[in-house]
Amino acid sequence: MISQFFVLSQRGDNIVFRDYRGEVQKGSAEIFFRKVKFWKDDGEEEAPPVFNVDGVNYFHVKVVGLLFVATTRVNVSPSLVLELLQRIARVIKDYLGVLNEDSLRKNFVLVYELLDEVIDFGYVQTTSTEVLKSYVFNEPIVVDAVRLQPLSPAAIFMQGTKRMPGTAVTKSVVANEPGGRKREEIFVDIIEKISVTFSSSGYILTSEIDGTIQMKSYLTGNPEIRLALNDDLLIGKGGRSIYDYRSSTGSGAVVLDDCNFHESVRLDSFDVDRTLSLVPPDGEFPVMNYRMTQEFKPPFRINTLVEEAGALKAEVIIKISAEFSASITANTIVVEMPLPKYTTRVSFGLEPGAVGQRTDFKEANRRLEWGLKKIVGGSEHTLRAKLTFSQESHGNITKEVGPVNMTFTIPMYNASKLQVKYLQIAKKSSTYNPYRWVRYVTQANSYVARI
């Protein structure tokens, strides 16, 4: 049961504010914002998504820099409220095409319309974009999408690559195309976040893939859809220890630890032929989430060398090797490494002829940063950094630096080998041939090499 819902800008202004039950004082947005901003004096810890001030519980999620907040005085399920906040953000995005402060401000009346139907007197009524369509009468005012921050993981497809129809992801479910007619199309995105920790000797300590099959349908008439996954897909690892690498792979089968499904998904024939059938509702939604700890080949190897070079000096060499096919290119790569706190100066040396690379020493938090626009599969890149210290290091320099952390995005690559074999639209018409987009992308979640 929710008492109030509001959205705050980064500066703490109310963009929308809806009071459903009148149980929480009107100044709650201010109380909330102050609390979040000044959670701990040292600023080292951020406020948790749920906290209580004077008997009022505040829930918040951060979406594209905006704070979506709910308050209540009763002891509700935190998952329910946080899930709901996230869902409200998604519904709004479905309607506005793009979610950001600008689009929210321009469309706040429409947002109020949505909020009226999503929650009544604190109780959730519906969060289905489709159902809500019949209650919403404002036309969305579309804002320019190009310079906007991406909201969903799917938005990463917009980065550069021409093959991706960028506008589709930011198309409102209700607004018509400029041409007046709606384009029949459906997007299926396989998005994987990978986490790998390498030991100092390069051995993989832990690895995990968290994947989502995300769907966004613009098909009229809600036809049924069948999605076929790998035939040899296995789910669950009966009896085996989750981190038992010896017995995995080899056969080539994809073994998921576990997965869950959107409520529209029917699993009637899933056990037989690994096919999911569903009638996709309007808007963006995850068809399936999955998790895998089966061994996989990490896309990058990181080699780091740290050596003392005199009394107040040290040298760091970081080498990145891309261990994937040359037809694939990773983009927006950032490599970070914490340096000793007494580091005063860093001079960088890149390979001769390096393009699209930048280096930086973040003095405030003593961090080395190395950015690369893209890395082609099979290539290697090296960074040399000479550090200057203000005091002598105590003994072992390697204890004072690291670990190296890396973030990247690799389109058209998926670490798990999970595939959508085919996407069938059950609509009988010879002329009906909608666009079908099946796209893969892998992102680093926590990609860490210890020193």
Partner 1 sequence: MAPPAQAHRSPSPSQPSGKGEVSDLKSQLRQLAGSRAPGIDDSKRELFKKVISYMTIGIDVSAVFGEMVMCSATSDIVLKKMCYLYVGNYAKVNPDLALLTINFLQRDCKDEDPMIRGLALRSLCSLRVANLVEYLVGPLGLGLKDNNSYVRTVAVIGVLKLYHISAPTCIDADFPPTLKHLMLNDPDPQVVANCLSALQEIWSLEASTSEEASREREALISKPVIYYLLNRIKEFSEWAQCLVLELVAKYVPLDSNEIFDIMNLLEDRLQHANGAVVLSTIKVFLHLTLSMTDVHQQVYERIKAPLLTLVSSGSPEQSYAVLSHLHILVMRAPFIFASDYKHFYCQYNEPSYVKKLKLEMLTAVANESNTYEIVTELCEYAANVDIPIARESIRAVGKIALQQYDVNAIVDRLLQFLEMEKDYVTAEALVLVKDLLRKYPQWSHDCIAVVGSISSQNVQEPKAKAALIWMLGEYSQDMQDAPYILESLTENWEEEPSAEVRLHLLTAVMKCFFKRPPETQKVLGAALAAGLADFHQDVHDRALFYYRLLQYNVSVAERVVNPPKQAVSVFADTQSSEIKDRIFDEFNSLSVVYQKPSYMFTDKDYRGPFEFSDELGNLSIAAESADNVVPAQGVEANDKDLLLSTSEKEEIRGATFNVSGYSAPLYDSSAASVQSELAIISSTSAGSAPSSSLAIDDLLGLGLSAAPAPEPASVPPSLKLNSKAILDPGTFQQKWRQLPISLSQEFSLSPEGVAALTTPQALLWHMQGHSIHCIASGGHSPNFKFFFFAQKAEESSNFLVECIINTSSAKAQVKIKADDQSTSQAFSDVFQSALSKFSV
> Which residues, numbered 200-219, are part of the site for partner 1 (CB under 8 A)?
206, 208, 210, 212
Which 79-118 positions form the footprint of partner 1 (CB under 8 A)?
Answer: 79-80, 82-86, 108-109, 112-113, 116
Name the one range near partner 1 by CB under 8 A: 22-30, 312-320, 411-419, 430-438: 22-30
**What does the alpha-carbon distance between residue 145 and residue 167 come to, in Å, rounded to a whole number?**
8
Which 273-292 positions form the footprint of partner 1 (CB under 8 A)?
Answer: 286, 288-291
Place of tokens 């980065």: 159
Considering the complex, state which of residue 75 and residue 429 has its C-beta at the smaller distance from partner 1.
75
**What does the alpha-carbon distance between residue 206 and residue 204 come to, in Å, rounded to a whole number?**
6
Count the alpha carbons within 13 Å of 239 in the hemisphere toward its beta carbon: 1
Which 392-421 positions form the footprint of partner 1 (CB under 8 A)?
Answer: 394, 399-400, 403, 405
Percentage helix, strand, coil for the chain under 3-state DSSP, each rounded to 5:
15, 40, 45
Task: Please select the residue that binds partner 1; options are 4, 71, 100, 127, rule is CB under 8 A.
Answer: 127
**What does the alpha-carbon distance between residue 255 and residue 193 come to, in Å, rounded to a whole number?**
16
Name the one range near partner 1 by CB under 8 A: 26-34, 172-180, 181-189, 429-437: 26-34
Angle between helices 78-96 and 108-118 (to 10 degrees): 140
User: Which amino acid, 408?
Assistant: F
**What does the alpha-carbon distance between residue 30 and residue 120 come to, in Å, rounded to a whole number?**
24
**What does the alpha-carbon distance between residue 100 and residue 386 come to, in Å, rounded to a whole number?**
41
Please report, to the nearest 10 degrees, the dihedral formed by the alpha carbons of residues 63, 67, 73, 76 taken in order: 10
User: Which amino acid, 293?
Assistant: T
Task: Please select the residue that binds partner 1; options are 220, 247, 260, 379, rule is CB under 8 A.
Answer: 260
Considering the complex, state which of residue 270 and residue 434 has its C-beta at the smaller distance from partner 1.
270
Least distance from partner 1 to the Cβ atom of residue 123, Å: 5
Encoded tokens for 68: 């979506």
**What does the alpha-carbon distance between residue 263 and residue 277 come to, in Å, rounded to a whole number?**
11
361 touches partner 1 (CB under 8 A): no
- Count of positions on this chain that bind partner 1 (CB under 8 A): 97
Considering the complex, state which of residue 12 and residue 160 has its C-beta at the smaller distance from partner 1.
12
**What does the alpha-carbon distance between residue 139 and residue 107 come to, in Å, rounded to a whole number?**
9
Task: Please select the residue that binds partner 1; options are 41, 52, 180, 221, rule is CB under 8 A.
Answer: 52
CA angle, residues 299, 215, 163, in degrees to nearest 5: 60
CA 423 to chain centre: 24
Task: Please select the residue that binds partner 1; options are 41, 43, 55, 238, rule is CB under 8 A.
Answer: 55
Least distance from partner 1 to the Cβ atom of residue 290, Å: 7
Q: Is the peptide bond before 48 cis (omega within 30 degrees of 0)?
A: no
User: What is the rounded end-to-end Cα distance, in angstroms, of the chain?
Assistant: 49
Least distance from partner 1 to the Cβ atom of residue 226, Å: 19
**What does the alpha-carbon distance between residue 373 and residue 246 come to, in Å, rounded to a whole number?**
36
Considering the complex, state which of residue 21 and residue 384 has its C-beta at the smaller distance from partner 1.
21
Determine contact, residues 289/99, Cβ cutoff 8 Å.
no
Name the one range near partner 1 by CB under 8 A: 48-56, 94-102, 323-331, 422-430: 48-56
Considering the complex, state which of residue 183 and residue 301 has its C-beta at the smaller distance from partner 1.
301
Task: Please select the residue that binds partner 1; options are 2, 16, 99, 420, rule is CB under 8 A.
Answer: 16
CA 348 to chain centre: 31
Least distance from partner 1 to the Cβ atom of residue 83, Å: 5
241 touches partner 1 (CB under 8 A): yes
Encoded tokens for 88: 């409200």
Task: Please select the residue that binds partner 1; options are 27, 179, 221, 250, rule is CB under 8 A.
Answer: 27
298 touches partner 1 (CB under 8 A): no
226 touches partner 1 (CB under 8 A): no
Least distance from partner 1 to the Cβ atom of residue 206, Å: 5
Determine contact, residues 301/377, Cβ cutoff 8 Å.
no
Which 28-47 positions form the footprint of partner 1 (CB under 8 A)?
Answer: 29-30, 33-34, 37-38, 44-46
65 touches partner 1 (CB under 8 A): no
Task: Please select the residue that binds partner 1; options are 146, 246, 268, 365, rule is CB under 8 A.
Answer: 365
Which 155-184 positions form the footprint of partner 1 (CB under 8 A)?
Answer: none
Which 304-343 positions form the footprint of partner 1 (CB under 8 A)?
Answer: 338
Task: Please select the residue that binds partner 1; options are 41, 43, 134, 271, rule is CB under 8 A.
Answer: 134
Task: Please select the residue that binds partner 1; options are 222, 224, 231, 243, rule is CB under 8 A.
Answer: 243
Encoded tokens for 300: 């990058």
Encoded tokens for 327: 């037809």
